[in-house]
Amino acid sequence: MNKKKARMLMHSKTAGERILSIWMFIIWIIIFLGITSAVLAIYSVRVNVKRVEAGILSDKIIDCISENGYLREDFSYDFDVFSECRINKDVIERAGNYNILAEVYDFYSCSKKEGGFACEKKLYEVEATEQASSLYVLCIAEKTEIGCIEKAVYLLDRKDKSKAYYIKISTASDYEGE
Amino acid sequence: MNKRGKILVSNIIFIVLTVLFFALLFIFVAWKSSGAAVYEEAYAKQIALLIDEAKPGTEISLDVSKLSEQARKNKFNGEIIDIDSESRKVSVILKEGGGYSFRHFSDNTVVWGYNPETETLDMRIN
């Protein structure tokens, strides 16, 4: 079709030809963009399980360090969370970004605060992951894309009944999957 | 070309373009909404989290009929689920060239099998 004929087709005044105007294409493009962006927005939503994963991780650690309300006797700053709690070190360290941090406080140094306890005397902490600190900072900054969970447990000393511990477990997951 | 002829040509072009436009739109929406990618991701994560949460000795039977249905729809005949005990990776594949993997962090070993009759994934955590 030469230029003259094309121009005639686009600009002639008959009813059928009027539809073939630039406006028709603009409307089609708007409809196309609207539908595709809506479909993409709905179907590209990721299933976010980071908080659930972090929660399972902290439950596993709490189950592992407590024995009927008592703190495990071998729990100390060099406690190997991976072998003792049946958590795979390779996955935690290589597959994704995880945070495992356990802070042990003297329970008698704690005072009740809104939403939990505020403790003054920290005895020691167990930092199981190398990237724990950096993720912990992001958790404090409340980065919503990271699943952060903080749980606390009150445990007694098996040997010395006058001692009690308040243990804060902070876990985080930033693992997306592959 | 007389006036009647011009109207006919423009009408044909209009109809062809309209059909082409809506066909493309329909194909795109149908392709995206088949949901294979969403199912792959959701089930891979669900299975991995079940393994993480389970205590040794737990037996789990998970209904995966939706996965089988999706695989049939996509004419995929390969293994739809794989749980690799070495890499601790749970993979779900529902179409050729697709697939999603999610690692479980639990150190427990998983004995598993897919039952095609009941369309369930049976797992035993040791």
Q: Give whole-number Cα distances, A46 to A56, A171, B68, in Å.
A: 20, 21, 21
Higher pLDDT, A7 or A129: A129
What pLDDT does A12 receive? 52
Cα A144 to its chain centre, rounded Å, is: 7
In chain B, what residues touch A82 (CB-CB under 8 Å)? 107
What pLDDT does A56 receive? 93
Q: CB-CB: which of B21, B42, B49 is closest to A52? A: B49
The DSSP annotation for A44-89 comes to T-----HHHHHHHHHHHHHHHHEETTEE-TT-STT--HHHHTTB-H
The string of pLDDT tens digits covering residues A116-167 is 777 777 777 777 666 555 666 667 666 667 788 888 888 888 888 888 888 8
Count Cα neighbours of A158 within 13 Å in the Cβ-side half-sphere. Answer: 11
Please tell me if residue B88 touches chain A, with a CB cutoff of 8 Å: yes
Q: CB-CB: which of A47, A56, A59 is closest to B42? A: A47
Q: Give whole-number Cα distances, A123 to A109, A143, A150, A164, in Å.
A: 11, 29, 18, 11
* Dist CA A64 CA B69 (whole Å): 40
- The overall longest dimension of chain A from CA atoms, in Å, is 100
The string of pLDDT tens digits covering residues A37-93 is 888 887 777 788 888 998 998 999 898 888 888 888 888 877 888 888 888 888 887
Please tell me if residue A81 touches chain B, with a CB cutoff of 8 Å: no
- pLDDT of B70 strictly over 90: no
Q: Where are the domains of chain B?
A: 1-33, 36-125
Please tell me if residue B13 touches chain A, with a CB cutoff of 8 Å: yes
* Dist CA B58 CA A108 (whole Å): 39
- pTM for the model stands at 0.74
Please tell me if residue A115 touches chain B, with a CB cutoff of 8 Å: no
Mutate to test the interface with A, among B1, B4, B10, B24 (most CBs of A within 10 A): B10
Cβ neighbours of residue B92 under 8 Å, at least 6 residues apart? B39, B40, B41, B43, B44, B47, B67, B80, B81, B99, B100, B101
Query: Cβ–Cβ of B6/A8 closer than 8 Å?
Result: yes
- pLDDT of A11 strictly over 60: no
- CB burial readout A64-78, b (16+ within 10 A) else e: bbbeeeebeeebeee
Q: Which of A146-155, B44-53, B102-111 has the lowest mean pLDDT?
A: A146-155
**What is the DSSP-derived secondary structure letter of residue B95?**
S
